[in-house]
Amino acid sequence: MKAFSSWGMAQNLNDSQITEALEAVARRGFNAVTVAPNGVGIQAEWSKYQNVAGARFFTATPFASSLGPAWATMDHIVAESQRLGITVLFSFFVSFAESGIGPDLVAASQTDAYDYGVAVASRYRGAPNIVWHVEADTDWQPGDPIGRRLDNVFRGIADTETTPRLIVAEPHPGGSGYGMFISEEGTGNSVYEWLHLSTNAVYDYGDHAVDQFDAVWNEAGATEYPVWDSEPPYASSPHYGEDSRAELRERNYSTFIRGGYGINYGDEDWWRFGKPGIFDGGLQWDEVPDSPTTVDAELAWRLLDAHVKDPTWTRDEGAFVKSGLGSGDTKSAAGYSRTWGLVYKPHASSITVDLAIFTTDAVHVQWYDPTTGRYTNVGDLPTTGTHEIQHPGNNASGKPDWVLVVDGFPP
């Protein structure tokens, strides 16, 4: 799941712009968008519960009245996404303070929350391309008012759906999906009886991409859950102190090479679609799909799709890479299948790999430039043991990050 955070799409774009945006997302290899139809109020200029034409998402009080005419905009997003093979992460955007739906959902009754869940699930019962999504962005307990309202929303959804959908969540900053949600599941008024996540999640703005992901992957009690990167730093944000373009590449590759289920990639100039946001990178929203960071992401998806979808793909725990991984922010991400291997190396050093793990007689080894998609050939090597492979120098952007690609010959 390669989602492009598109929180404000249903509020800030008309139908033709939505089609343009979704086609641009698909063109760059993304297969999902995260959309918050119920209200994003990050700045005062945002009009919650209203689309760009002024139509309302509720006929009266939010969550305490029926769905309004603005849901036609969300219908268009879902239908166009289905046409393009895109999954919609339908987000209940709680967020922080007054910025999201939290205060209005809490002000509604438990019955209102249930009825809202029924209404939304009924409207999209025939849409196969929806995943339910909770955007927390702040911490709370399941027994708190917002926790009880959300659980009743999902009770309404569960009572309405014929086939349950995946449920994913973005926890509070620095937390995990397991810590905030999954570990609180159960029966009763102080736990989540109906809000049951399908995945664990990373929410960390740090730059140690491999270590951050591995910590959640190995989280005690949650090892059977697939993991997704629910809120990596966005392009055009100040969260990375070093070269942000290179750091974003590191995050994209590390997430999937280390076994990730998905990523919620974002750009500060995209998700707000012309409204004031938290940060401003200086681009118009329709310029973002052609920006260097978005093109880098497309090049990552192109390589990763050809390899990590292999059902035998596994994270490398030392069987493949014997030396040269590095540590901290420069730690390499390594993984392999029976016939493929990838190592994203963000720093310049040689690397020693054991090719005996592959089931083919020989492998073809190349370096992949993550800024151009071009290969530098290393050669054909026998799968008879360890080999030291020299780093090729800086890539076309002048940075040292490359991806080592090991492709097995047909057995």
DSSP for 312-361, please give it.
T-EE-SSSSEEE----GGGPPEEEE-SSEEEEEE-S---EEEEGGGSSSS
Residue 409's pLDDT is 76
Q: Which two tokens stand for residue 48?
A: 């919650």
Domains of the chain: 2-305 (3.20.20.80), 314-408 (2.60.40)
Residue 114's pLDDT is 98
Give the span between the Cα atoms of 119 and 98, in whole angstroms. 24
Nearest to 362 by CA among 410, 311, 323: 410
- Give the model confidence (pLDDT) of 286-307 as tens digits: 999 999 999 999 999 999 999 9
Let me know: does 132 contact 168? Beta carbons within 8 Å.
yes
Q: Which regions in the chain score pLDDT beneath 50? A: none
317 CB neighbour count, 10 Å cutoff: 10
Residue 189's pLDDT is 86
Residue 294's pLDDT is 98
Q: What's the whole-model pTM score?
A: 0.96
Residue 410's pLDDT is 66
Let me know: does 340 contact 310? Beta carbons within 8 Å.
yes
Residue 188's pLDDT is 86
